[in-house]
Copies of this chain bind each other. A is one copy, B any other.
């Protein structure tokens, strides 16, 4: 019943886990208070600080849980009754962030943006002008629509209004430029299984100095930053952190630093562009306009007359390739193709385009044979 072959993970996450990370994960289990493990906590905190570009005076750690836990941990320690939050909603995860803030008692105002488009920072400015707000929350990489939101500009406007900025970097960390300190982001969380390329189960989170100063008492025990800080920094028991997942996260962070963060961003951009060139030659369109597209997650419009579920089924059953379906109002209208972590590679782009061509042919979709891979190969050559 365990999978016998490697699934090629080109969905919205998890991304493919490279062999070095699987090997690290197989190292002997240590307890959460083992002297050899607590040293590793410091190492992981330092590496996380560098991948978030947190700067001085902040605090990084990893929540034992998934990106959703990261979101809840961010919200639980920064919002409560009386918090006035402005949430940029450009898709499913922006909506979830608004719900989460509501659950923790915040008074939420939503800046609604059409699904498939990025938020115009001026909409945030306008919304901030009409009332006092403590917190601006935004998803950098909206996984449901393939859209990149302009976090730097939004955080600047929030700072002008003395509001904190909370950023969901679940699908952007280690794939897209993100500079927590330089951009004046105050709280930022992510996951382990996308840009970083580890298995899911840990959620990196960063609190800048302003967020630490303005934190609120957490209603949640599991996500209580003071208790988590007691554990990660002062080695006081809080929960039984999984050494297995920590080894994997640490190895992933080492791989990121070996590659170089900026080189990694450039790799994600390159393979996104190569994919986009291939899809374009096959007559397929991406949902967001060009400047608003994610590199890590490509929202591909399903052509008329094509059964989107059948295409995914063919990819899975004949080619062992997973891609994602659309969520909410985009269900049936898009495919979500992730190129993240080690999944952002020229080989996988070419393989995917070939397999997609076959799957579309089965649906009677007409295109020049090999047009997609040829255009992708040309695009790839242009980067050399």
| CB-CB under 8 A for A237 and B327, given A29-B9, A199-B242, A201-B242 | yes
Residues in B whose Cβ lies below 8 Å from that of A28 = 3-7
Task: State in angstroms the CA–CA spacing of A277 and B32 once bound together.
Answer: 30
Q: Report A19-36 CB contacts with B as 1/0, cut-off 8 Å.
A: 000101111111111111
Q: Is the CB of B243 within 8 A of A199?
A: yes
Size bracket, chain A contacts: 35 or more
Q: Of A147-155, A172-180, A217-225, A351-359, which binds chain B? A: A217-225
Q: Is the CB of A43 within 8 A of B1?
A: yes
Task: State in angstroms the CA–CA spacing of A39 and B2 once bound together.
Answer: 11
Residues in B whose Cβ lies below 8 Å from that of A67 = 239-240
Q: Report A280-297 CB contacts with B as 1/0, cut-off 8 Å.
A: 000000000000000000
Instruction: Say whether A145 faces chain B, with CB atoms less than 8 Å apart.
Output: no
Q: Is the CB of A201 within 8 A of B64?
A: yes
* CB nearest neighbor in B for A105: B219
Task: State in angstroms the CA–CA spacing of A24 and B65 once bound together.
Answer: 20
* CB nearest neighbor in B for A15: B29
| CB-CB under 8 A for A200 and B9, given A25-B25, A316-B35 | no
Report the minimal beta-carbon distance from A325 to chain B, rounded to whole angstroms: 9
Instruction: Say whether A94 faces chain B, with CB atoms less than 8 Å apart.
Output: no
Report the minimal beta-carbon distance from A309 to chain B, rounded to whole angstroms: 12
With beta carbons under 8 angstroms apart, the residue of B5, B11, B29, B71 that contacts A199 is B29
Task: State in angstroms the CA–CA spacing of A201 and B26 once bound together.
Answer: 15
Q: Is the CB of B199 within 8 A of A1?
A: no
Q: Is the CB of B7 within 8 A of A31?
A: yes
Q: Report A228-269 CB contacts with B as 1/0, cut-off 8 Å.
A: 000000000111111111010010000000000000000000
Q: Is the CB of A200 within 8 A of B7?
A: no
Q: Which of A14, A96, A193, A244 has the most CB of B within 10 A?
A: A244
* CB nearest neighbor in B for A71: B221
Q: Is the CB of A7 within 8 A of B26?
A: no
| CB-CB under 8 A for A322 and B34, given A2-B27, A327-B237 | yes
Q: Is the CB of B103 within 8 A of A221?
A: yes
Residues in B whose Cβ lies below 8 Å from that of A363 = none
Task: State in angstroms the CA–CA spacing of A5 and B25 once bound together.
Answer: 14
* CB nearest neighbor in B for A100: B221
State the A residues within 8 Å of B (CB). 1-7, 9, 11, 13-14, 16-17, 22, 24-36, 39-40, 43, 64-69, 71-72, 96, 99-100, 103-104, 191, 193, 199-201, 219-223, 237-245, 247, 250, 316, 322, 327
The 8 closest A-B pairs by CB, nearest first: A68-B239, A201-B242, A2-B27, A199-B244, A200-B242, A200-B240, A66-B239, A6-B28
8 residue pairs from A and B, CB less than 8 Å apart: A2-B24, A2-B247, A7-B31, A13-B240, A14-B31, A72-B221, A200-B240, A201-B244
